[in-house]
Structure 1
Amino acid sequence: MEKIVWVKSNMRTIGAKEDDGLATVNKYLEEGWKVKHISACAMGDSVVLGQAYVVIEKEDN
């Protein structure tokens, strides 16, 4: 089984806790999922903002 999780930079809101998607990725990794692929890119013309998607997989038993 595969899942895709979007992760985005939240540098724009320094000091504010915003869901960036990393907690979701970490939760799956703790449950035994493995990272299959990561792709990342900048957001617009910004040099500090970015987004990525992480493809995770878990073998069906």
Structure 2
Amino acid sequence: MEKVIWVRSTEKTLGAKEDDGLDTVNRYLEEGWSVKHISACAVGESFSKGQAYIVIEKK
């Protein structure tokens, strides 16, 4: 079984943390899933912002 999860960088404003998707990825990894593929790219012209998709699998 495979799942695709999108993650993105977020700006932290006034201590608020947006959901960037990494908590979801970490939860699956703790449950025994493994990373099959990661693809990432920049967002716009900013070097500090990006997005990625992570393919995880459970055998």
Query: TM-score, normalised to structure 1's length?
Result: 0.89
Q: May I ask how many residue pairs the two structures share in their alignment?
A: 58
Pairing of 1:1-61 with structure 2 (within 5 A): 1-11=1-11, 13-14=12-13, 15-59=15-59
More helix by share: 1
Root-mean-square deviation over aligned CA pairs: 0.9
Unaligned runs of 5+ in 2: none
Unaligned runs of 5+ in 1: none
More strand by share: 2
CA distance in 2, matches of 1:56, 1:48: 25
> Residue 4 of structure 1: CA displacement?
0.3
Alpha-carbon deviations, 1:15-41, whole Å to 9, x = none?
Answer: 321000000000000000000000000
Write the letter of the residue equivalent to 1:47: F
Is the partner of 1:28 in helix, strand or coil? helix
Write the letter of the residue equivalent to 1:22: L
CA distance in 2, matches of 1:42, 1:51: 6
Identity over aligned pairs, percent:
71
